[in-house]
Amino acid sequence: MVDRFRVGNTTIEGIVEGTAPMPMKDFIPSFTLDRMREHMPILAPRFMDEAGENGNAAFRTWVVRTGKHTVLIDTCVGNHKQRPNFPPCHDLVTDYLPQLASIGLAPEQVDYVFCTHFHIDHVGWNTRLADGRWVPTFPNAKYVFARKELKFWTELPKEEVGINENVFEDSIQPILDAKQAQIIDDGFDLDDQLSIVPTPGHTPGHYSVLLKDGSERGMFTGDTMHHPTQIFEPAWNSGFCADQPLAIATRKKLLEQVVERNMLLLPVHFASPGAGRVIDRAGQFIFRV
């Protein structure tokens, strides 16, 4: 499944590694169906069932071809990754690489891999298993890691890693060892089209990616939001946000920026087609596909 968009002359394709149900109350603890009833024509059935019990989630990589660079934003779960603390992502075998091939992209053609943060479902295809070793999947790419994110996961006690068990060891450390990591700080611009926007809260070093092409803009938002209900109710966090108040403040600020510039919003986990616009209607954010 490939989602396709354009921002100016830039081609954007979304590779969906897989989909999964999202139990709304478990994943977004503040969720109530009553608050969403007026938005159900937008939400159901694409993003959520009518009963409000399960949302629809995607695991997606955005492929951005600017004319200068071929860039991947987040790399899903990965094959053969041992994730015993999170069964939906444990020891998967998916058609991710054939999907890249279907859009005419070989791993050797990728110039940059942006990892918005280091959670289990955003870094998995950084590496692949070859002769019993984890090696970079994209041998000619620079992997863009935020210094704050790297510091956080390097210093986190092992007993606090939770569902991210093994992730640093099999999907981050091999990139560092191969000297393919580009460690960045706030304010990083890849070129005049792609730059990072610090969006902390979900994790300390989380960032989003701003695409500029002429007068048009797109914002790749990582996990600043997991489901469209968080656009209608920006104060609703997922249960996986490390700093809950900061995550809320970041989400509101990001949505304000998206509305102000009429940016194409490109989250990772929204069900296909995976992107849309946000408008401000009398002080409330409204999502439009």
Q: What is d(CA 196, CA 257) in angstroms, rounded to the nearest whole number?
A: 14
In a domain, 38, yes or no: yes
Q: What is d(CA 110, CA 235) in angstroms, rounded to the nearest whole number?
A: 36
Query: pLDDT tens, 156-192?
Result: 999 999 999 999 999 999 999 999 999 999 999 999 9
In a domain, 52, yes or no: yes
The amino acid that residue 101 corresponds to is A
Q: What is d(CA 222, CA 266) in angstroms, rounded to the nearest whole number?
A: 8
In a domain, 210, yes or no: yes
Which pLDDT does position 33 carry in this prediction? 97
The amino acid that residue 258 corresponds to is V
The closest of 233, 222, 231, 271 to 73, measured between CA atoms, is 222
Q: CB neighbours of 204 closer than 8 A, spacing ≥ 6?
A: 148, 149, 151, 152, 242, 243
The first and second tokens of residue 88, run together, are 């939906």
| 181-184 vs 142-146, strand pairing mode | parallel
Residues of the chain with pLDDT under 50: none
Positive or negative, the CA dihedral 152, 155, 157, 161 is positive
Q: CB neighbours of 24 closer than 8 A, spacing ≥ 6?
A: 31, 48, 52, 53, 54, 55, 227, 229
The closest of 230, 182, 184 to 206, measured between CA atoms, is 184
The total domain count for the chain is 1
In a domain, 72, yes or no: yes
Contact 113, 105 (CB under 8 A): no
Give this prediction's pTM: 0.97
Task: Give the domain extent around 209.
Answer: 2-216
In a domain, 255, yes or no: no
* Segment (H or E) for 126: none
* Segment (H or E) for 144: strand 142-146
Q: Which CATH number is 113's domain given? A: 3.60.15.10
Which pLDDT does position 247 carry in this prediction? 98
Distances in Å between the Cα of 154 and the Cα atoms of 53, 161, 174, 196 are 36, 11, 14, 22
In a domain, 163, yes or no: yes
The closest of 169, 165, 174 to 143, measured between CA atoms, is 174
In a domain, 272, yes or no: no
Which pLDDT does position 209 carry in this prediction? 98
The amino acid that residue 248 corresponds to is I
In a domain, 56, yes or no: yes
* Segment (H or E) for 92: none
The closest of 130, 154, 127 to 141, measured between CA atoms, is 127
Which pLDDT does position 269 carry in this prediction? 98
